Amino acid sequence: MDDLIKLSDEAVVEIIRRKDKNIFSEIIRRYQEKLQRYASYLLSDDYLGADATQEGFIKAYINLNSFDVKKKFSSWIYRIVHNEAMNLINKNKGNFLLNPEIDYDSGVDLEDELIKRELISKTHKCLNYMPILYKEPLSLFYLDEKSYEEISDILRIPVNTVGTRISRAKGIMKKLCEKHTK
Amino acid sequence: MRKTHKINTTDIEKKVMEKVTTNQITMKPRWYFVLGSTLMIAGLASFAVLATFLTNLTIFLLKKHGPNGQWRLQQIIESFPMWVPILAIVGIVIGIWMLKKYDFSYKKNFWLIVLAFITSILLTAFFLDYTGLDNIWMKQGPMKHMYQFNDEEVYRRGSGRGYGRMMMQNR
User: Residue A87 sits in a domain of what CATH number?
Assistant: 1.10.1740.10
- CA dihedral A130→A132→A135→A140, nearest 10 degrees, is 180
Chain B contact residues (CB < 8 Å to A): 1-8, 10, 12-13, 15-17, 19-21, 25-30, 32-33, 106-109
Tell me which amino acid residue B41 is: I
Residue of A nearest to B33 (CA): A66
Give the end of a domain, one of A31, A59, A91.
A91
If one counts the domains in chain A, the total is 2
How far apart, in whole angstroms, are the C-alpha atoms of residue A53 and residue A43? 11
Residue A101: inside a domain:
no
pTM: 0.69
A117 and A84 share a domain?
no
Q: What is the dihedral of CA B10, A30, B3, B106, to 10 degrees?
A: -110
Instruction: Give residues with Cβ within 8 angstroms of A7, minimum separation 6.
Output: A15
- Chain A positions touching B26 (Cβ under 8 A) are 62
Residue B60's pLDDT is 78
Mean pLDDT of B143-163: 58
- A23 and A58 share one domain: yes
What lies within 8 Å, CB to CB, of A129 at 6+ separation is A176, A180
Residue B3 belongs to a domain: no
Q: Is the pLDDT of residue B5 over 90?
A: no
Q: What ipTM, to 2 d.p.? A: 0.72
Q: Are B43 and A82 in contact (CB under 8 A)?
A: no
Nearest-neighbour CA in chain A from B121: distance (Å): 26
Report chain B residues whose CB lies below 8 A from the CB of A159: 107
Same domain, A59 and A122: no
Q: What amino acid occupies position A31?
A: Y
Q: Is residue A104, in this structure, part of any structural domain at all?
A: no
Residue B36 lies in a domain: no
**Looking at the domain assignment, is residue B6 inside a domain?**
no
CB contact under 8 A, B12 and A50: yes
What is the structure's pLDDT at A116? Answer: 56
C-alpha to C-alpha distance for B83 and A108, rounded to whole angstroms: 65
Residue A16 lies in a domain: yes
Name the residue among A17, A62, A143 with its Cβ closest to that of B25: A62
Query: CB neighbours (10 Å) of residue B35?
Result: 11
Residues A82 and A15 in one domain: yes
Q: What is the pLDDT along chain A (182 residues), one digit of tens a residue?
A: 567 888 889 999 999 998 889 999 999 999 999 899 888 888 888 888 899 999 999 999 999 998 988 888 999 999 999 999 999 888 877 565 433 334 444 444 445 555 556 656 666 666 667 788 888 888 888 878 889 999 998 998 888 899 999 888 888 887 777 776 65
Please choose, from the candidates A41, A145, A160, the residue with its C-alpha nearest in 3D space to the C-alpha of residue A101.
A41
**Residue A63 and residue A15 in one domain:** yes
At position A21, the amino acid (one-letter code) is K
Containing structural domain, residue A138: 113-180
Rounded CA-CA distance B133/A39 in Å is: 56
- Helix axis angle for A46-62 and A24-43, nearest 10°, is 140
- In this complex, the residue of B2, B27, B106 whose CB is nearest that of residue A158 is B106
The DSSP symbol for A103 reads -
B110 or B25, greater pLDDT:
B25
* A80 and A131 part of one domain: no
- Among candidate residues A32, A60, A91, the one where a domain is terminated: A91
- Same domain for A87 and A17? yes
By C-alpha distance, which of A151, A124, A122, A157 is closest to A139? A151
Phi, psi of A66 (to 5 degrees): -90, -10
Which residues of B fall within a CB distance of 8 Å from A124? none
Q: How high is the pLDDT of residue A171?
A: 84
Among residues B16, B154, B162, B171, which one has the least CA distance to residue B78? B154
The number of domains in chain B is 1
Distance CA(B28)–CA(B154), nearest Å, equals 51
Find the domain containing B98 and state its range: 43-170
A131 in the same domain as A76: no
Which of A71, A163, A178 is closest to A125 using CA atoms?
A: A178
CATH of the domain at A141: 1.10.10.10
Q: Is residue B156 part of a domain?
A: yes
CB A7 within 8 A of CB A30: no
